Amino acid sequence: MSDTVSPPSLTLSELPKAPEGPWRSSVRQLRRNKGAIVGLVVLVAIAAISIASPLYVSLVTHLNPFNTNLNGSFVLNGQTIQVMQPNTQGLGLGVNPIGPTWDFQHYFLGADNLGRDVFARLLYGGRVSLLIGFTSAILCSLLATIMGMVAGYYGGFIDWIMSRFFDVIWAFPIYLLAISLSVILLTSGLNLGFIHIQAGSLLLPILIIAGVYVPYVGRPIRGLVFSLREREFIQASIGSGASDWHILRREILPNVMPSVIVFFPLMVAFNILTESALSFLSIGVQPPSASWGTVLNDGLDLLYTRPWVALAPGILIVITCGALNVLGDGFRDAFDPKAKLRGSV
């Protein structure tokens, strides 16, 4: 080098920093998405209120919302009010449950046909609806991921069997399948020899709902794994003698996860809607358990006299599923903008 050239005056510190990992950048993007944050806050709020429902009952209303209360009464503004009130419409025969009092201490949203506090039942129902929504989604994602990965990775006969299985369930109108399973299992329970699930158990709707949606997640995952398998980095792993387990866990799973994450909130929303539809047909959650769907079903008989019994759970479902959908959009933008989503049940 010529001695007229001075040594570099710029140092290495000005080199760009190493780029952050895909996870961190996705999470950061999600945190910037106002809609997704609002959705998350709404969801957490609904979940928190639902989980706290026993507190509401034991501290505020002091009334078990699972017991019939046909002869009950309460005091509001100094007046004693009957829960079941004489019918003033039509022939004036029979009784009607009380409508909304808009007072959190007594029958905020009124009573149902058995004199039970609708608002408290809604809070308890939220626990069940959310429980079913989330556990079914977890179960379904788990099953679908395993099946999709195995089918897509091994191909051949296993793939053929699983793809046909997906095809069959896919071609089965989803509600018909769920209804068929529910009708059968609710009369007899599920008896698989080593496990016996009672007919009224919450596990039944959870298993049924998780099961019917498996192809909806499993199919795209199979397709994804199928194309991943042809990619150089997987081929390189196979070529270097890595075990199938290692490749599936370390190479394929991390590439499948974003899709599963993107599907997850939507799955929960589907599941809540499906649960409510099954309960609406009286073949979902069975008494004494309550869910938003069963409260809605209770309210159908009262639709024209006490519309709030049916309206309120519907509104809660819309808000919850809306929040989940917004969150799902945020997840998609952050994790996998190319994901093709099907927002339908």
Nearer to another protein, 200 or 237 (CB): 200
Binding site for another protein (CB under 8 A): 1-2, 4-6, 8-10, 14-16, 164, 167-168, 170-176, 179-181, 183-185, 187-193, 269, 273, 276-277, 280-281, 296, 300, 303-304, 307, 310-311, 314, 317-322, 324-326, 329, 338, 340-344
Nearer to another protein, 54 or 337 (CB): 337
Nearer to another protein, 64 or 227 (CB): 227
C-beta of residue 316 within 8 angstroms of C-beta of residue 292: yes
d(CA 302, CA 306): 5
**Which residues are within 8 A (CB) of 90 and not within 5 positions of it... i.e. 6 or more apart?**
none
Q: What's 77's DSSP letter?
A: T
CB 142 to another protein: min, Å? 22
- The 10 Å CB-count burial string (b at 16+, else e) for 250-277 is ebbeeebebbbbbbbbbbbbbbbbbbbb
The alpha-carbon radius of gyration of the chain (Å, integer) is 27
CA atoms within 13 A on the CB side of 189: 10
CB 268 to another protein: min, Å? 12
Peptide bond just before 265 cis, omega within 30 deg: no
CB 304 to another protein: min, Å? 6
d(CA 19, CA 56): 49
Nearer to another protein, 65 or 330 (CB): 330
Nearer to another protein, 236 or 303 (CB): 303
CB 183 to another protein: min, Å? 5
CB 173 to another protein: min, Å? 4
Nearer to another protein, 69 or 259 (CB): 259
CB 244 to another protein: min, Å? 29
192 burial class (0-12, 13-18, 19+ CB within 10 angstroms)? exposed
d(CA 203, CA 285): 9
Nearer to another protein, 17 or 232 (CB): 17
CB 169 to another protein: min, Å? 8
The sign one gets for the Cα dihedral 230, 235, 241, 247 is negative
